[in-house]
Structure 1
Amino acid sequence: MTAPPRTAAFDKWVTIATPSPQSAVRLVCLPHAGGSASFFFPVSRALAPRVEVLAVQYPARQQRLREPGIDNIPEYADQIFAVLAELDDKPLALFGHSMGAILAYEIALRMQQAGRPAPVRLFASGRRAPSRYRADRIHEGTDAQVVAELKRLGGPNPALLADPEMLELILPAVRSDYTAIERYRHEPGRKLDCPITAVIGDSDPRVSDDEARAWADHTAGTFDLKTFPGDHFYLVGQAQNVIVLIDRALATPTR
């Protein structure tokens, strides 16, 4: 097995916190709106060396703070797919949380359309199916309204929301991400071949059981739904159970 390519574009978009070149499969993790690659570092450590985790770093945050944000899903997916296109030496799986679930879906579609091996599995966490919409306009709100929404969702870093200086740094990325996901519309007629596992918290205000089950309509492969106790960020409190779920699902990956 070889290490992933280390081009400048790859290093900009992808962080490998725990390199595992002998892994049988790679798992690309895509964060939520406003999130960063570091959110998945504990997952990387827990799954190594069996699974090598590639955490995607979006622009306009952390080491990419000075770059402009991306405010539409197709551009996001195009750029990430272009970086991942060199990974063809071992099976690839995708895990996306919230906005990241939609990005994972769109990247998988691009892999399929390009004639590349399909992901061995797509994990869609904390997000309704691509064809299910709500009339959300958070990206058009004031900073106070955006912060109120972040607090309502119970994000993993509540202290940041009480720090005016940190808010000034993170809000541009949050707003561009919310613009991207709230304006996203699924293109009918497209369907994946890979299996999909939807994972949600049982008290998530952003996705219902019915909205999560609708992911089944977006694949010709198998579908299953896993529900854990918790809200939109259920996976913080349920980290160990989510890691076991991923590990078992990827134990015998096939192309």
Structure 2
Amino acid sequence: MSCAWLNIPHPKPNAAIQLLCLPHAGGTAALYRPWVKLLPDSIELVLVCLPGREQRCNEVMPADMRSLITLLGNAVTPILDRPWAVFGHSMGATVAHELILSLQCRNLCGPEHLFVSARKAPQFQEGGNQHQLDDDSLCQQLIQLGGTAPELLEIPELRALLLPTLRQDYRLIETSKVSSDQPLSCPITAMVGRDDPELTPDDARGWQRWTNCHFHIYEYTGNHFYLSQSPHLVVSHVVKQLGLT
């Protein structure tokens, strides 16, 4: 697949389903690379690379969610002739939800399943001003979430690389609102760390309102980045919900 938005680290042309994985704010699809060795042959991993990171580090994130979803929707359209599912962590969960809503409005083929990780249901989401914080305060926010080692944020070069992208992402997510109140025609599975400072299991259970199909929730030991601590368990639950081996 030749596309700046999508990368398949281990092609599986005979896989039963493709699993698109979307990163968190300021993060990259590298979060999911350990899954390459954990997923069965029936699932092909597709990593979504958003503007402002990795090979797209010189690109600017679109200023609003609608523009981002339009571009991302055009990128995924070529794979819609095969069954697919989507997993989004934190900001990625909101982007995944908006992507499906957009495709649904265009009467295009939706996914077999939506996995929303470490993200409040849309009805509980509020705006914020984290994108306006100074550098030190923004770094403290990252440390609180547990996704970045404090010593790394003391490296000026890393801060200069990470913080602009993080601000772009936070601005996008903090200034956007859900585009439709229509439920999805696919099952939703919510996943949450019990020690996540940003949401509670009840916040995650609110996703049940957004599907006409089956809903399930998994709670894990860990914080906002629980899936880095228990990748085998998370992948096993993804496989189970997709009904594959």
User: What range describes the TM-score normalised by the shorter chain of this pair?
Assistant: over 0.9
3-state SS, counterpart of residue 38 of structure 2: helix
Rounded to whole Å, the distance in 1 between the matches of 2:68 and 2:122 is 15
TM-score under structure 2 length normalisation: 0.94
**Farther-moved stretch of structure 1 (51-60 vs 154-163):** 154-163
**Farther-moved stretch of structure 1 (65-74 vs 147-156):** 65-74
The aligned counterpart of 1:113 is: 105
Rounded to whole Å, the distance in 2 between the matches of 1:20 and 1:69 is 30
Task: Choose the corresponding residue for 1:68, options 60, 66, 81.
Answer: 60
- Is there any run of 5+ residues in structure 1 with no aligned partner, and where? none
After TM superposition, give the deviation of residue 76 of structure 1 in Å.
Answer: 1.8
Task: Choose the corresponding residue for 1:231, options 218, 223, 230.
Answer: 223
Specify the code of the residue in structure 2 equivalent to 1:215: W
The aligned counterpart of 1:80 is: 72
Question: How big is the alpha-carbon RMSD for the aligned residues of Structure 1 and Structure 2?
Answer: 1.7
3-state SS, counterpart of residue 85 of structure 1: helix
Q: Is residue 192 of structure 1 aligned with residue 184 of structure 2?
A: yes
4+ runs deviating over 3 angstroms: 156-160
Identity %: 35
Specify the code of the residue in structure 2 equivalent to 1:96: G
Relative to 1, partners in 2 of residues 1:41 and 1:159: Cα closer, same or farther, differing over 3 Å?
farther
Contact 1:197 1:225 in 2 (8 A): yes
Q: Is residue 208 of structure 1 aligned with residue 229 of structure 2?
A: no
3-state SS, counterpart of residue 197 of structure 1: strand
Contact 1:20 1:48 in 2 (8 A): no
Contact 2:10 2:36 in 1 (8 A): yes
- Deviations 1:115-144, CA, capped at 9 Å, x for gaps: 122210000000001121235311111111
Contact 2:86 2:114 in 1 (8 A): yes
After TM superposition, give the deviation of residue 252 of structure 1 in Å.
Answer: 4.6
TM-score under structure 1 length normalisation: 0.91
Task: Choose the corresponding residue for 1:167, options 139, 156, 159.
Answer: 159
3-state SS, counterpart of residue 66 of structure 1: coil
- Deviations 1:33-57, CA, capped at 9 Å, x for gaps: 0011222111133215221111111
